[in-house]
Amino acid sequence: MNDTPLTPHCGLVAVLGAPNAGKSTLVNALVGQKVAIVSAKAQTTRARLMGIALEGQTQIILADTPGLFAPKRRLDRAMVAAAWEGAQEADAILLVVDGRKKRRDYLEPILEDLKHRPERKILVLNKVDEVAKEPLLIAAQELAGTDEDGKAAFDEVFFISALTGDGVPELKTRLAQLMPEGAWHYPEDQVSNASERLLACEITREQLYRQLHDELPYDSAVRPESYTHRPDGSVEIHQQIVIARDSQKGIVLGKGGSKLKSIGETARKELCQLLGVKVHLFLHVKVDEKWGEDKEVYEEIGLDWVK
């Protein structure tokens, strides 16, 4: 029996979890193409980006939120605020948990905050392709157990691998069933609410993380300078890579500028595929010790200014 509704349905799903749980990979898998950047580094997602997935007549709006963690800097506080903001008035909340981790005490503050929320809560144990079945079942039982009032912490549990796609279609079908009746919020061919300008910066930032690995700390940002459509149909993009210390400049540039060239070339190729047009990408590096206190930067990357 097919439970997919024939009338239009549309709803919001907040995707929460600790850093590096696989939230962005899951959002990309549900949408069916890349809308959020993925990195082995934790806290890659900074802004609250929406991915838009379709299942039959249902539009599922996915809020890919920054990872929830103990905030220290202003940027950290803004990211955590964006994560909880993404859960406001959601029709369902997904808590994505790395199924490989045996210690789960880091989840206690998140579970405590979720306890009193009225939305339907779904536990998603991710990366199950790397874990034996029995430990996963134990983890699910512990996390989804009942509280002192006998109320279950989660309404449902799913075991998935966002990377391989295992379990993702079943999760997507269930999310579609939970979405309320209503008109779609976005056109059928739109996969994200992020502007091309912001997506272009995110693609470059992903390459920064991927190519520099642990050499470059989190105190870096990619700022848009200009985004111009040329008469020949191509796009000319100028971006500024902002770093906090002068000593980091040589790391980003590489010998003779080779590393910056590699970052730009890889980002440009991906942007060509994403936008479907020829892209001219120009990058330059700027040192600004106080960029993390610049309100304009927060607006550019889609975060609210927090005190």
The angle subtended at Cα 23 by Cα 210 and Cα 7, nearest 5°, is 130
Q: Which residues of the chain have pLDDT under 70?
A: 1-5, 36-48, 65-88, 146-152, 214-219, 291-295, 297-307
CATH 3.40.50.300 boundaries in the chain: 9-178
Q: What is the pLDDT of residue 291?
A: 65
Q: What is the pTM of this model?
A: 0.68
Closest to 87 measured CA to CA, from 64, 112, 70, 105: 64
Measure the CA–CA gap between 267 and 257, rounded to whole angstroms. Answer: 16
The sheet that has 9-17: what strands, in order across it? 49-55, 58-64, 9-17, 92-98, 120-126, 156-159
Q: What is the pLDDT of residue 1?
A: 47
- Please say whether the beta carbons of 184 and 151 come within 8 A: no
Measure the CA–CA gap between 40 and 20, rounded to whole angstroms. Answer: 7
Place of tokens 């190519």: 211
CATH 3.30.300.20 boundaries in the chain: 196-300
The DSSP bridge partners found for residue 279 are: 235
The DSSP bridge partners found for residue 62 are: 13, 51
Structure tokens belonging to residue 120: 């339907």
Pick 196-300's CATH classification: 3.30.300.20, 3.30.930.10, 3.40.462.20, 3.40.50.2300: 3.30.300.20
Measure the CA–CA gap between 296 and 294, rounded to whole angstroms. Answer: 5
- Please say whether the beta carbons of 129 and 136 come within 8 A: no
Q: 175 in helix, strand or coil?
A: helix
Other CB atoms within 10 A of residue 265 CB: 12
CATH topology (fold) of 9-178: Rossmann fold (3.40.50)
Q: Which helix (H) or strand (E) holds 92?
A: strand 92-98
- Please say whether the beta carbons of 205 and 38 come within 8 A: no
Closest to 188 measured CA to CA, from 46, 52, 25, 4: 52
